[in-house]
């Protein structure tokens, strides 16, 4: 017994040493500023890793498990998996083809839906085994789970139109029309949940059934129902929690009325935090407890009660999925606080001994309760919402920041001269897309009219030959197809051909620095590059635009960019090479957009931004690139400029004499040491058994001799 206890203590000691050297996975955002897009991709990859074969997906059936410790699934879970596959592939974190790519995974799911056993009532069972695909128990599905799966299948039809007929056959086979027409089946759901899942039935034409029609009126009923005041915010007396509203926003899209209620649900949780100092992100989910194992956290109940937890009261949980979901929607200091908190706890879990020895480094934890207890369950619903939140955040970046850059001739153009017009679609995200261009050229004083179409490519060139002297108006319409949504950009500009015509319109100029990327430090006398994106809103006449770099202290000009001839509205990227001073210290620069009015260069001081650079005598070891994004949000009467400091990319590696163990090496060492120690224990036990047998043999001989 002493030997075994010694071995156990030795293993724990070794594990503790290894924990001290454990290399953290890059999850936290505290103390590290990064580009917003990069952070969302990183988080989506972590969430998606749960769906690796052998972790959250059975490697034989290709069907997911609802949680790492529970190898069953409902239609709700299956719907979440389908949505996760689609959005992971569109974000570029999952290949489309190859084994376990998006197409392969979708095929496995569809085969399951085409062949799974159906109950004698003509509808699916509630639970199926992930490993066998067979039903677990005799309970049948409900309208909530079915509606969620139907929403996912409708998205799949949009993502893969070639599967439409097959999906329609699956819906018919699984008897969802029966559920659509059963009034009693719809009594199991109310409020925001009911309104959300009803859309799944609507998408497949079941909205002719009265129960579905009634459910689609649920939001109107919610708005007209009695409200209760919670921290000064009016909320409806129905089942109010975050999850169904997040799904509605991420999967279906909401109008301003619905968004107003979503803002209220966010605001009341923020208000609870500022009133009680307790972080609040309420939803439903696993508890990590023996009783209850699953809870619903209601902000409001149909009886008008507030902050109620069912079926049994527990310490409230800050759910990870809600933290990320609200952060994608609102991106406030409070949502960042929520995300920082759950990420910090995620790292604590990953550095814990049970995790290192027994659990996979896949997915995000379920949450953290108000006593700081980590709810360490790894659940599919959490991963799906984080993936959806990431896709939504990237979509917002596309809708707000993507643009078409137009390169037009900077010199005079003569009749019959062939000129090249270049159109470049700029997207700040990795979301997959293709483009369709329509370019119309019209003469302002002639009947000249030509139209050109480009389909598929996002960067196109047009060779055009004007026939006469004229001022030609060129209108460009770009439709960017992102599969699940589109963005349309329309621009127009003028090209003057020949000497006889002039553009009489008044020139209005507005330009601002939109983003800057620079080195955090440089060496003495080093040539380095600043990369800056300039947002502009000009007249249709081409205007020369550039960026001037001045010393922020002396105001002398340090460098200038090349000149770009731009018009209309959009963004232009400039790269500026600067020579560092030959003296150590701070190097403060100011970047100013400037345009030429025909006589002189006018600097737009209101559109300027400054950067700070350290000048060092020798390399500091690790190059840090700072990427500051300056977002221009247009409101009714003014432009609000919000600066977001982002960044840190390691572009060189620092070598040191310290040993850093990677998680894989560490785990191998734990296993090897454990095996070695158990081998010693086994040998010790064998030797002691032999000694014991010899002693018994001697004792028997002695007893025999005494009897003789």
Contact criterion met (CB below 8 Å) for 407 and 562? no
Task: Tell me, yes or no, whether 14 lies in a domain.
Answer: no
Helix (H) or strand (E) holding 565: strand 564-566
Task: Tell me, yes or no, whether 704 lies in a domain.
Answer: no
234 and 273 in one domain? Answer: yes
Instruction: Report the CATH number that the domain containing residue 426 is assigned in CATH.
Output: 2.60.40.730
3-state SS, one letter per residue, for 180-205: HHCCHHHHHCCHHHHHHHHHHHHHCC
Task: Return the SS3 of 692.
Answer: helix
Contact criterion met (CB below 8 Å) for 322 and 283? yes
471 and 604 in one domain? Answer: no
Task: Tell me, yes or no, whether 9 lies in a domain.
Answer: no
Task: Return the SS3 of 331.
Answer: coil
Task: Tell me, yes or no, whether 285 lies in a domain.
Answer: yes
Q: What is the spatial distance between Cα 413 and Cα 535, in angstroms, rounded to a whole number? A: 26
Report which of 317, 323, 261 is spatially closest to residue 294, judged by C-alpha positions: 317
243 and 128 in one domain? Answer: yes
The per-residue pLDDT for 198 is 98
The per-residue pLDDT for 640 is 28
373 and 408 in one domain? Answer: no
> 637 is written with which tokens?
């009467």
413 and 363 in one domain? Answer: no
549 and 417 in one domain? Answer: no
Task: Tell me, yes or no, whether 6 lies in a domain.
Answer: no
Q: In which domain, by residue range, is 477 found?
A: 402-497
Task: Tell me, yes or no, whether 11 lies in a domain.
Answer: no
Helix (H) or strand (E) holding 547: strand 543-551
Q: Quote the number of domains for the chain.
A: 3
374 and 425 in one domain? Answer: no
582 and 435 in one domain? Answer: no
The per-residue pLDDT for 118 is 97
Q: Which of 400, 417, 443 is the last residue of a domain?
A: 400
Report which of 520, 514, 512 is spatially closest to residue 532, judged by C-alpha positions: 514
The per-residue pLDDT for 645 is 29
> 609 is written with which tokens?
């931004």
Task: Tell me, yes or no, whether 101 lies in a domain.
Answer: yes
The per-residue pLDDT for 630 is 52
> 55 is written with which tokens?
């972790």
Q: What is the spatial distance between Cα 133 and Cα 135, in angstroms, rounded to a whole number? A: 7
Instruction: Report the CATH number that the domain containing residue 547 is assigned in CATH.
Output: 2.70.50.60
Q: Which of 445, 474, 497 is the last residue of a domain?
A: 497
The per-residue pLDDT for 567 is 77
Secondary structure (DSSP) of 378-422: -BHHHHHHHHHHHHHHHHHHHHHH-EEEEE--SS-B-TT--EEEE
The per-residue pLDDT for 335 is 97
Beta strands in 232-292 (DSSP E): 233-236, 284-286
442 and 379 in one domain? Answer: no
Report which of 390, 241, 413 is spatially closest to residue 328, judged by C-alpha positions: 390
pLDDT digits (tens, 9 = 90+) for 71-101: 999 999 999 999 999 999 999 999 999 999 9
Question: What pairing do the DSSP bridges indicate for beta strands 609-616 and 521-523?
Answer: parallel
Q: What is the spatial distance between Cα 361 and Cα 68, in angstroms, rounded to a whole number? A: 12
| Per-residue CA distances from 637 to 606, 632, 640 (Å) | 17, 13, 10
Long-range (24+ apart) CB contacts under 8 A made by 504-508 are 505/539, 505/540, 505/541, 506/539, 507/538, 507/539, 507/541, 507/543, 507/597, 508/537, 508/538, 508/539
Find the Cα–Cα–Cα–Cα dihedral 626, 627, 633, 637, rounded to 10°. 50
CB atoms within 10 A of CB 458: 20
201 and 52 in one domain? Answer: yes
269 and 162 in one domain? Answer: yes
Q: Which of 625, 650, 675 is the last residue of a domain?
A: 650
Q: What is the spatial distance between Cα 591 and Cα 550, in angstroms, rounded to a whole number? A: 7
Upper half-sphere CA count for residue 102 (Cβ side, 13 Å): 19
612 and 553 in one domain? Answer: yes
Consecutive 10-residue runs of the chain (708 residues): their mean pLDDT?
55 49 45 71 97 97 96 98 99 96 98 98 98 96 98 98 98 97 96 98 97 98 97 97 98 96 98 97 96 97 97 98 98 96 92 71 94 95 98 95 86 88 94 96 89 94 92 93 96 82 51 85 87 82 87 89 84 90 88 85 87 78 52 32 30 32 48 61 65 60 49
183: Cβ contacts below 8 Å, ≥ 6 apart: 210, 211
Instruction: Report the CATH number that the domain containing residue 110 is assigned in CATH.
Output: 1.50.10.140
Task: Tell me, yes or no, whether 675 lies in a domain.
Answer: no
The per-residue pLDDT for 33 is 37
């Amino acid at each position: 017994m002493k030997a075994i206890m010694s071995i156990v203590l030795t293993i724990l000691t070794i594990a503790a040493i290894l924990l001290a050297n454990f290399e953290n996975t890059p999850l936290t955002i505290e103390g590290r500023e990064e580009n917003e897009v990069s952070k969302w991709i990183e988080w989506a990859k972590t969430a998606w890793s749960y769906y690796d074969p052998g972790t959250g997906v059975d490697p034989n059936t290709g069907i997911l498990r609802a949680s790492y410790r529970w190898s069953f699934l409902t239609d709700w879970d299956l719907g979440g998996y389908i949505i996760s596959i689609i959005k992971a592939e569109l974000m570029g974190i999952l290949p489309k083809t190859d084994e376990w790519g998006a197409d392969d995974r979708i095929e496995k799911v569809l085969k399951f839906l085409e062949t799974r056993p159906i109950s004698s009532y003509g509808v699916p069972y509630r639970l199926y085994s992930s490993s066998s695909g067979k039903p677990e128990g005799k309970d049948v599905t409900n309208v909530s789970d079915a509606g969620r799966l139907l929403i996912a299948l409708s998205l799949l039809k949009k993502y893969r139109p070639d599967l439409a007929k097959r999906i329609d056959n699956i819906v018919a086979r699984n008897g969802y029309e029966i559920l659509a027409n059963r009034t009693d089946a719809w009594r199991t759901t109310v409020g925001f949940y009911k309104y959300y899942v009803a859309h799944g039935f609507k998408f497949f034409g079941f909205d002719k059934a009265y129960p579905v029609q009634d459910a689609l009126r649920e939001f109107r009923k919610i708005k007209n129902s009695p409200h209760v005041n919670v921290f000064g915010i009016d909320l409806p007396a129905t089942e109010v929690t975050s999850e169904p509203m997040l799904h509605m926003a991420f999967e279906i899209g909401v109008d301003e009325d619905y968004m107003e209620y979503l803002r209220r649900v966010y605001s009341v949780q923020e208000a609870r935090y500022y009133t009680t100092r307790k972080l609040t992100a309420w939803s439903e989910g696993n508890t990590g407890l023996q009783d209850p194992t699953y809870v619903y956290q209601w902000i409001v109940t149909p009886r008008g009660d507030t902050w109620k937890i069912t079926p049994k009261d527990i310490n409230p949980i800050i759910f990870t999925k809600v933290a990320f979901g609200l952060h994608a929607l609102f991106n406030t200091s409070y949502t960042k606080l929520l995300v920082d908190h759950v990420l910090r706890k995620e790292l604590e879990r990953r550095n814990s001994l049970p995790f290192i020895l027994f659990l996979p480094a896949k997915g995000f934890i379920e949450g953290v309760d108000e006593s700081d207890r980590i709810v360490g369950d790894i659940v599919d619903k959490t991963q799906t919402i984080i993936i959806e939140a990431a896709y939504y955040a990237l979509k917002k970046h596309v809708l707000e920041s993507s643009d078409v850059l137009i390169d037009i001739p900077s010199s005079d153009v003569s009749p019959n001269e062939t000129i090249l017009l270049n159109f470049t679609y700029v997207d700040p995200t990795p979301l997959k897309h293709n483009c369709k261009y329509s370019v119309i050229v019209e003469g302002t004083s002639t009947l000249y009219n030509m139209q050109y179409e480009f389909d598929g490519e996002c960067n196109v060139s047009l060779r055009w030959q004007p026939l006469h002297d004229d001022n030609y108006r060129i209108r460009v319409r770009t439709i960017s197809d992102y599969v699940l949504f589109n963005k349309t950009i329309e621009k127009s500009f003028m090209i003057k051909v020949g000497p006889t015509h002039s553009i009489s319109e008044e020139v209005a100029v507005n330009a601002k620095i939109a983003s800057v990327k620079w080195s955090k430090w440089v060496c003495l006398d080093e040539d380095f590059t600043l990369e800056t994106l300039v947002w502009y809103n000009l007249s249709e006449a081409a205007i020369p635009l550039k960026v001037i770099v001045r010393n922020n202290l002396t105001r002398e000009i340090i460098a200038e960019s090349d000149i770009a001839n731009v018009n209309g509205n959009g963004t232009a990227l400039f790269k500026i090479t600067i020579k560092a001073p030959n003296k150590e210290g701070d190097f403060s620069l100011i970047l100013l957009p400037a345009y030429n009015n025909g006589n002189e260069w006018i600097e737009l001081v209101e559109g300027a931004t400054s950067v700070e650079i350290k000048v060092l005598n020798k390399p500091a070891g690790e190059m840090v690139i700072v990427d500051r994004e300056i977002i221009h949000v247009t409101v009714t009467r003014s432009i609000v400029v919000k600066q977001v400091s982002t960044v840190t990319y390691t572009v060189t590696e620092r070598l040191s004499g310290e040993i850093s163990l990677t998680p894989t090496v560490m785990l191998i060492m734990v296993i090897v040491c454990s095996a070695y120690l158990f081998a010693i224990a086994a040998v010790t036990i064998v030797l002691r058994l032999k000694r014991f047998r010899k002693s018994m043999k001697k004792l028997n001989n002695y007893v025999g001799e005494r009897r003789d």
